[in-house]
């Protein structure tokens, strides 16, 4: 089983700034992705929203290869988030790649698997908690960024041994010119293979003092995430975002996670819970949160947690709290004064 990860994906403000530098307005991306404009200012998105954003960027650029190369080469180092700064200022290319693979766990949905053998080093991209590959442009950019990291860090015009993609990437010749090696399409995975000798190249951007600051903080964040990570929590979080006006079904949540409903059920069984139990928990938790807000009347609260019938909400709340929503709100207001 693949390791659990959160469906909450952080988008760096530098991402939107990078798009603007390429001449693409952030609102155009949101509209193309059919997502609300408020998404631009939100720090986290779901995995399906994340994929939609990258697909929208690809559609607006027109050619996948062009979009990959432009974003990889134009993105300013100063815009890097801390997880990437810790790789850019590493001791050498090997240290940078290992840090990237480690801290990628803080930035789902991609994961990197590094293998060194004989004269080459292979980095394979995998997806967490999804049975479907990400948008081709995101796949290509992830591998291109690893190449760009080595070039910027060492200050040398490094070339890869070869690159493999499982999907079409547009202008193959443009990508071969960028990576400096043959490109294979329709492979059984997505891999960047480097010359192993390049991994020992020192980084001219090495900053020991900065790493001494960043490393403990990132390691602590990673350990905290691993301790709190739960697939069930991820499913419940998605449910809470989908409750308004109706009851989210298992097919809709499974689609959000890019997996089959059977796989979702199996994963929840592995964590000793069920879709029905999580839905009840999600409604209960949201009901308490909404009732704590005096500006919302009880009919609105019922609607916000998926009950179109107010009486059904009253019956459910009595089972959860042993009291009516009105009494609970009154008692809660008294306790918080």
Mean pLDDT lowest for which of 55-59, 277-281, 332-336?
332-336
What local confidence, expressed as pLDDT, does residue 12 receive? 78
Q: Is residue 194 helix, strand or coil?
A: strand
Report the distance separating Cα 164 and Cα 213, nearest Å.
36
Sheet holding 190-195, edge to edge: 110-117, 120-127, 190-195, 162-164, 183-184
CB 313 within 8 A of CB 243: no
Instruction: Indicate if the pLDDT at residue 122 is higher than 80.
Output: yes
Instruction: Indicate if the pLDDT at residue 1 is higher than 50.
Output: no
Report the distance separating Cα 9 and Cα 104, nearest Å.
11
Per-residue pLDDT tens over the stretch 139-158: 999 999 999 999 999 999 99
What local confidence, expressed as pLDDT, does residue 311 receive? 92
Report the distance separating Cα 202 and Cα 289, nearest Å.
52
Which pLDDT band, with edges at 50, 70 and 90, does 226 fall under? low
Per-residue pLDDT tens over the stretch 168-200: 999 999 999 999 999 999 888 899 999 999 999
Which pLDDT band, with edges at 50, 70 and 90, does 2 fall under? very low
Best CA proximity match to 4, nearest among 228, 211, 191, 213:
228
Mean pLDDT lowest for which of 83-87, 146-150, 229-233, 266-270?
229-233
Better-scored residue on pLDDT, 241 or 142: 142
Best CA proximity match to 56, nearest among 80, 77, 37:
37
Mean pLDDT lowest for which of 8-17, 180-189, 220-229?
220-229
Q: Where in the chain is the domain with CATH 1.10.10.60?
A: 231-335
Average pLDDT in the 13-18 region?
82
- Residue 11's contacts (CB-CB under 8 Å, 6 or more residues apart) are 42, 43, 44, 45, 50, 53
Which fold does the domain 231-335 belong to in CATH? Arc Repressor Mutant, subunit A (1.10.10)
Q: How does strand 162-164 pair with strand 183-184?
A: parallel
Instruction: Indicate if the pLDDT at residue 131 is higher than 70.
Output: no
CB atoms within 10 A of CB 315: 10
pTM score = 0.66
Instruction: Indicate if the pLDDT at residue 5 is higher than 50.
Output: no
Q: What is the percent of the chain where pLDDT is above 70?
A: 92
CB 247 within 8 A of CB 239: no
Burial of 264 by CB count in 10 Å (0-12 exposed, 13-18 middle, 19+ buried)?
buried
In the chain, at which residue ranges do the beta strands (DSSP E only) sit?
Answer: 9-10, 44-45, 110-117, 120-127, 162-164, 183-184, 190-195
Best CA proximity match to 219, nearest among 45, 43, 82, 115:
82
What local confidence, expressed as pLDDT, does residue 296 receive? 87
């Amino acid at each position: 089983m693949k390791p659990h990860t959160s469906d909450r994906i952080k988008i760096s403000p530098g991402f939107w700034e990078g798009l603007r530098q390429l001449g693409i307005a952030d609102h155009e991306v949101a509209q193309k992705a059919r997502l609300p404009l408020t998404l631009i200012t939100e720090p986290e998105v779901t995995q399906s929203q994340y994929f939609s954003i990258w697909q929208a960027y690809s559609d607006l650029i027109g050619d996948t290869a062009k979009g990959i190369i432009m974003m990889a080469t134009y993105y300013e180092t100063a815009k890097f988030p801390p997880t990437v700064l810790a790789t850019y200022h590493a001791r050498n290319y090997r240290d940078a790649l290992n840090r990237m693979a480690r801290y990628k766990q803080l930035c789902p949905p991609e994961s990197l698997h590094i293998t060194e053998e004989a004269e080459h080093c292979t980095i394979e991209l995998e997806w967490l908690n999804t049975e479907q590959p990400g948008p081709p442009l995101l796949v290509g950019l992830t591998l291109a960024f690893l190449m760009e990291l080595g070039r910027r860090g060492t200050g040398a015009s490094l070339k890869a041994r070869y690159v493999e993609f499982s999907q079409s990437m547009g202008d193959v010749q443009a990508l071969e010119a960028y990576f400096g090696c043959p490109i294979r399409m329709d492979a059984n995975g997505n891999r960047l293979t480097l010359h192993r000798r390049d991994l020992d190249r020192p980084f001219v951007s090495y900053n020991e003092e900065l790493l001494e600051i960043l490393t403990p903080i990132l390691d602590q964040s990673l350990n905290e995430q691993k301790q709190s990570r739960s697939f069930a929590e991820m499913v419940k979080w998605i449910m809470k975002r989908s409750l308004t006006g109706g009851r989210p079904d298992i097919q809709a949540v499974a689609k959000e996670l890019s997996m089959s409903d059977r796989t979702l059920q199996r994963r929840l069984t592995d964590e000793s819970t069920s879709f029905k139990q999580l839905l009840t928990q999600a409604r209960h938790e949201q009901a308490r949160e909404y009732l704590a807000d005096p500006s919302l009347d009880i009919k609105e609260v019922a609607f916000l947690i998926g009950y179109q019938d107010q009486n059904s909400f009253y019956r459910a709340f009595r089972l959860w709290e042993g009291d009516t929503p009105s009494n609970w709100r009154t008692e809660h207001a008294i306790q918080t004064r």
